[in-house]
A and B are shown apart, each in its own frame.
Chain A
């Protein structure tokens, strides 16, 4: 035995100077998620600047269709110009707040709506998934509708939701315009949850289902003790998708319904400055990107809390 192992250790000793140690250190650093995110942001900025430097001034078109964007300062301002612009006041008016503060305020408003939409979407998606798991009939009837629902264009939906909402009588509560936006966001958010959670609820092995059956566990007990824990690995990516969808849905619905205060309206307003102040329209877009990253980060934290449900059994 010892003679058999000796050559391998010798070979390892010869071929392993400092290189593996350094590689290990890089690998360890790359496991620090936030650091990777910052590096990725810099990579995107570098790509932007590289294209701006090397790409054709007037872009590149095939007939009428422009396939590559223009690289002029108006179309693609320098990343550092955008960063500098964030620190300057929003407008020339006296006492105007800094651009980044305005973006932050609009972002907070959108974030609140997106979170509400996400929560509603997750709740609706979860209820749908559980009902579909419980009743085969519901699954075959509702699942196609769920898929179909996502083909309705958001822009068409927004005015409808707004007019329905304004006609709603909710007792003491009057329908607020932001609620329409939250509903539209939830419309995008429920889909991945319904589909992902259904798959998760259906994922337990026969042996586990039979184990619960053997111990006389009813549907509810099986759901709580087996199906929900087993659904977690499928649910987490669904929740992350739902978060991203909620952010996109919120911003687009803000644009479509013209709700003031959020990032969507800001994007609309600042678009007018594309010629006079090119970096300015990019500020709310950056805000929307940051909001999306924040949402994904929050779901990742949730995933960390649920990590014990992500274990898998090795085949025995």
Chain B
């Protein structure tokens, strides 16, 4: 089980094999009088098709880093390149799908119409839009709620709609900010398996923010451990697991392949490594889920 993982040769993206390339990126908020250094000297490269998790104490700049990649914010130093071009070009080309820390659904749109939004903005036809939305809603287990409005859904259900929305356009890069934070363990594990399956199918690169060490290890090729302010990359833990079983959809939320993996020796070792990295530097693991 704990063999060295063979990285699948990533499908060549029209604009390069690297999904994200961050060089010396820093972000300082606020004026000159009281600056808040959210990120400092961050170097990170995400290959196409690679799954990278960001983990670190609350307020260490994970969301900020994700926003730099999404071109929703600009670095005050350093560069961020996405698929070989600028982050702005990638955004305008709709190269990535994004799920924020909050669901952020449009209240006047039905659940289905919310999932269809990225497709509608890309000009996809009505029929294929609907088909894709139904497929994704089935995946997140919300088929019966397609015609409901967001205010009729629980927080976790809204979060699942947001995940479906991020996946709608089959993007080659997925940016996810604690997408499974509000979910119960069963749904969480089910969606983790589904996410792995989708990534294997579409060869999408993922930058995934989480507070859960097991989740990061279970999903990722590499776990990036960040230190608190100023946010820096403290350590990158390579995870080598054989996910061939976990990525195939199991019979239900508790698929055996995933359970096997979670008790695997390599898994336990990687969890320990990430935990040590988080503890390193003397500061306590604030806001980090150490299950």
Smallest distance from the beta carbon of A19 to chain B beta carbons, Å?
A: 32
B94 in contact with A311 (CB, 8 Å)? no
Please, which residues of chain B bring their CB within 8 A of the CB of A309? 108
B102 in contact with A216 (CB, 8 Å)? no
Smallest distance from the beta carbon of B89 to chain A beta carbons, Å?
A: 10
Q: Would you call A215 an interface residue if the criterion is a C-beta within 8 Å of the partner chain's C-beta atoms? A: yes
B-side interface size class: 20 to 34
Q: Would you call A136 an interface residue if the criterion is a C-beta within 8 Å of the partner chain's C-beta atoms? A: no
A211-B104 contact given A217-B121, A316-B155, A316-B159, CB 8 Å threshold: yes
Smallest distance from the beta carbon of A213 to chain B beta carbons, Å?
A: 6
Q: Would you call B1 an interface residue if the criterion is a C-beta within 8 Å of the partner chain's C-beta atoms? A: no
Contact segment of A60-68, A176-184, A202-210: A202-210
In the bound complex, what is the Cα–Cα distance between A313 and B114 (angstroms)? 13
Contact segment of A81-89, A221-229, A244-252, A267-275: A221-229
Chain A, residues 143-165, CB within 8 Å of chain B (1/0): the string is: 00000000000000000000000
In the bound complex, what is the Cα–Cα distance between A205 and B102 (angstroms)? 12
B91 in contact with A214 (CB, 8 Å)? yes
Smallest distance from the beta carbon of B198 to chain A beta carbons, Å?
A: 19
Q: Would you call A33 an interface residue if the criterion is a C-beta within 8 Å of the partner chain's C-beta atoms? A: no
Please, which residues of chain A bring their CB within 8 A of the CB of B182? 316
A311-B98 contact given A210-B72, A211-B104, A316-B182, CB 8 Å threshold: no
B104 in contact with A214 (CB, 8 Å)? no
Please, which residues of chain A bring their CB within 8 A of the CB of B98? 211, 214
Q: Would you call B150 an interface residue if the criterion is a C-beta within 8 Å of the partner chain's C-beta atoms? A: yes
Q: Would you call A276 an interface residue if the criterion is a C-beta within 8 Å of the partner chain's C-beta atoms? A: no
Please, which residues of chain A bring their CB within 8 A of the CB of B149? 308, 311
A229 in contact with B91 (CB, 8 Å)? no
In the bound complex, what is the Cα–Cα distance between A12 and B120 (angstroms)? 51
Please, which residues of chain B bring their CB within 8 A of the CB of A221? 121
Q: Looking at the complex, which one of B91, B120, B122 makes contact with A213 (CB distance below 8 Å)?
A: B91
Q: Would you call A312 an interface residue if the criterion is a C-beta within 8 Å of the partner chain's C-beta atoms? A: yes
In the bound complex, what is the Cα–Cα distance between A210 and B150 (angstroms)? 18
Q: Would you call B12 an interface residue if the criterion is a C-beta within 8 Å of the partner chain's C-beta atoms? A: no
B151 in contact with A311 (CB, 8 Å)? yes
In the bound complex, what is the Cα–Cα distance between A312 and B106 (angstroms)? 9
Smallest distance from the beta carbon of A286 to chain B beta carbons, Å?
A: 39
A229-B108 contact given A207-B100, A311-B151, A314-B151, CB 8 Å threshold: yes
A216-B92 contact given A210-B72, A312-B151, A313-B150, CB 8 Å threshold: yes
A:292-316 near B, CB below 8 Å = 308-309, 311-316
B104 in contact with A308 (CB, 8 Å)? no
In the bound complex, what is the Cα–Cα distance between A213 and B159 (angstroms)? 20
Please, which residues of chain B bring their CB within 8 A of the CB of A225? 117, 120-121
A216-B94 contact given A313-B151, A314-B151, CB 8 Å threshold: yes
B72 in contact with A213 (CB, 8 Å)? yes
B107 in contact with A207 (CB, 8 Å)? no
Q: Looking at the complex, which one of A215, A229, A311, A316 makes contact with B103 (CB distance below 8 Å)?
A: A316
19 A–B contact pairs at CB < 8 A?
Answer: A210-B72, A210-B100, A211-B104, A214-B91, A214-B96, A215-B122, A221-B121, A225-B117, A229-B108, A232-B108, A309-B108, A311-B150, A311-B151, A312-B107, A312-B151, A314-B151, A316-B103, A316-B155, A316-B158
Chain A residues engaging chain B, CB cutoff 8 angstroms:
205, 207-208, 210-217, 221, 225-226, 229, 232, 308-309, 311-316
Chain B residues engaging chain A, CB cutoff 8 angstroms:
70-72, 91-94, 96, 98, 100, 102-108, 117-118, 120-122, 149-151, 155, 158-159, 182
